Amino acid sequence: MIDFNIPPFSGNELVYMQEAVKNRKICGDGPFTKKCHAFLEEQTGAAAVYLTTSGTSALEMAAILSHIKPGDEVILPSFTFCSTADAFVARGARLVFVDVRPDTMNIDEKKIEAAITDRTRVIAVVHYAGVSCEMDEIMAIAKKHNLIVVEDAAQAVGSTYKGRVLGTIGDFGCYSFHETKNYSMGEGGALILPTLDQRDEAEICREKGTDRSRFFRGQVDKYTWVDYGSSYLPSDLNAAYLWAQLECFDEIRNDRMATWNAYDAAFRPMAEAGLLEVPFIPEGCVHNAHMYYLKLKDLPQRTAFIKYLKENGVMAVFHYIPLHSSPAGLKFGRFAGEDEYTTKESERLVRLPLYYHLTEEDRNKVIDTVRSFFA
């Protein structure tokens, strides 16, 4: 059986984790966390990057730092993982779901403005499959209406939009290092601050509401509880695992890209023949090979396709049930405008196996199995 995902392992993870254990440095913000911060700040060009315990907690921090109050509205796509919504619901926000574009499955920038009310505070965009949303238009809308932009870049580590790194374009960027993402620490993530304006506030929020980070830098002579916060910093053991992968940053991306490109070379002609649909990468977007998906005719064909693949040793999966039609989505939000594409397109989409070290043999088996379904 070819798995859908195998968590990345690049070789030095145990060496670094052992080092953390031997040196008795296992709590948060230890030497490996600092290495990861420095690397990610350099790689993204952001003013500050903080590892968090998950992508979800990075989103929670972004919601707290956005000063959301109960009743404030947050605009987001319905086609996303529930964490994008959870973070804002925890602050008492109402969710306003906007339709996606069928070509990228990203929020349709043309439909955002109609969803804005006098309660709107945040636009939370999701760079689906590591392919950027139309950030120029979205940032212009946010500026015009004085809104905060949170980038859920959980899937987009290493992707760019017109040369700018995703996660650094809006007011806050959120990465995930879950085991299903390109780079992993088991569970983990990062909050990205494009400027230093909210650095102190972010550090306080991440350290249980204390100014401990300022204390460690020698900026205050004792630390105390100064605001609301939580414990968002991961153990250095997890950071040690991640560090091994960040050291192989390009290699992991290139390896994934080889699979993505092989799939694309095989399936694009089938798309041109009208058998299925393949991902679209808009001009100016450089993606990170996070995901390769196909779109089939409809739900029954997709169900048959996934079953056929499984019977032939290939695990393919679908996601997401649109949030607006899920029990929590109904409770916490509403769909703005018409659901023209979200539900329809989500029912046609299927993700193929794609992970670091997927062998060429397995990749070819996936391709042959997909071809034989259509033969």
Ligand X SMILES: *Cc1c(COP(=O)(O)O)cnc(C)c1O
Binding interface with ligand X (CB under 6 A)? 54-56, 80-81, 83-84, 126, 152, 154-155, 176, 178, 189
Nearer to ligand X, 129 or 278 (CB): 129
CB of 360 to ligand X, least distance (A): 27
Q: Which residue is nearest to ligand X (CB)?
A: 55
Residue 83 in contact with residue 38, Cβ under 8 Å? no
Query: What's the one-letter identity of residue 228?
Result: Y
Give the span between the Cα atoms of 7 and 39, in whole angstroms: 21
CB of 58 to ligand X, least distance (A): 8
CB of 265 to ligand X, least distance (A): 26
Q: Is 69 exposed, middle or buried (0-12, 13-18, 19+ CB in 10 A)?
A: exposed
**Helix, strand or coil, per DSSP, at residue 25:** coil
Nearer to ligand X, 279 or 369 (CB): 279
Nearer to ligand X, 79 or 267 (CB): 79
Nearer to ligand X, 198 or 238 (CB): 238
Find the length of the chain. 375
Give the span between the Cα atoms of 166 and 151, in whole angstroms: 8
CB of 3 to ligand X, least distance (A): 18
What sign results for the dihedral spanned by CA atoms 173, 358, 238, 253?
A: negative
Q: In what order do the strands lie in the sheet with 333-335?
A: 48-52, 189-193, 172-176, 148-152, 120-126, 73-77, 94-98, 333-335
CA distances in angstroms from 97 to 5, 75, 100, 108, 352, listed in the order given: 29, 6, 9, 11, 27
CB of 146 to ligand X, least distance (A): 25
Nearer to ligand X, 17 or 85 (CB): 85
| Residue 119 CA to its chain's centroid (Å) | 26
Tokens of 101: 């574009």
CB of 173 to ligand X, least distance (A): 12
Nearer to ligand X, 83 or 213 (CB): 83
Tokens of 187: 């569970």
Give the span between the Cα atoms of 369 and 257, in whole angstroms: 20
CB of 155 to ligand X, least distance (A): 5
Nearer to ligand X, 54 or 369 (CB): 54
| Residue 183 CA to its chain's centroid (Å) | 11
Q: Write out the DSSP string of 215-275.
A: HHTTSSSS--B-S---B-PPPHHHHHHHHHHHTTHHHHHHHHHHHHHHHHHHHHHHHHTTS
CB of 170 to ligand X, least distance (A): 14
